[in-house]
């Protein structure tokens, strides 16, 4: 599978090749901040198949959190493109909304960090949901 995408203003463009390793929806408080309040919808993609084809991203890693992710985003419009998670070498967390065709996502396979979800967040029906990451306490 080959996918392309960009930031809102178009300064950053990317291409990624490979099959999604997983598809999900994250409700963690950090994702709520960067999304403006909603859960983040993402694809876990092989890092080896990813490249920026236009522009260079800015990066941000919180220094006050142990194991904080690094978020890459457009320095002009602020669109978050992906996250790099410590302990997940070789995997990029690609934000579905940045794809040229977000419909290729289909549906999430899991919902994570449901412990942080807000009352206005909806967990997808029939999809495994976890308090934190996969393998943590399931949420019903």
Tens of pLDDT, residue by residue over 43-58, are 999 999 999 999 999 9
In a domain, 50, yes or no: yes
pLDDT at 99: 98
Is residue 62 a part of any domain in this protein? yes
Domain membership flag for residue 129: no
Residue 15 maps to a domain: yes
Domain limits at 63? 2-116
For the chain, what is the domain count? 1
Q: What is the 3-state secondary structure (H, E, C) of the chain?
A: CEEEEECCCCCCEEEEECCCCEEEEECCHHHHHHHCCCCEEEEEEEHHHEEEEECCCEEEECCCCCCCCEEEECCCCCCEEEEECCCCCCEEEEEHHHECCHHHHCCCCEEECHHHCCCCCCCCCCCCEECCCCCCCECC
Provide the whole-model pTM: 0.92
Q: What is the CATH number of the domain that holds 61?
A: 2.170.150.70
pLDDT digit string, tens, across residues 59-85: 999 999 999 999 999 999 999 999 999
């Amino acid at each position: 599978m080959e996918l392309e995408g960009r930031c809102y203003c178009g300064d950053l463009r990317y291409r990624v090749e490979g099959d999604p390793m997983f598809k999900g929806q994250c409700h963690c408080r950090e994702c709520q901040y960067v999304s403006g309040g909603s859960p983040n919808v993402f694809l876990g993609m092989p890092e080896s198949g990813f490249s920026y084809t236009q522009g260079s991203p800015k990066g941000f890693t919180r220094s006050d959190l142990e194991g904080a992710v690094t978020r890459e985003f457009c320095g002009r419009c602020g669109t978050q493109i992906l996250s790099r998670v410590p302990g997940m070498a070789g995997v990029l967390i690609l934000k579905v909304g940045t794809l040229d065709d977000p419909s290729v996502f289909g549906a999430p396979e899991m919902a994570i960090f449901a412990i942080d979800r807000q009352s206005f967040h909806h967990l997808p029906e029939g999809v495994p949901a976890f308090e934190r990451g996969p393998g943590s306490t399931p949420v019903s």
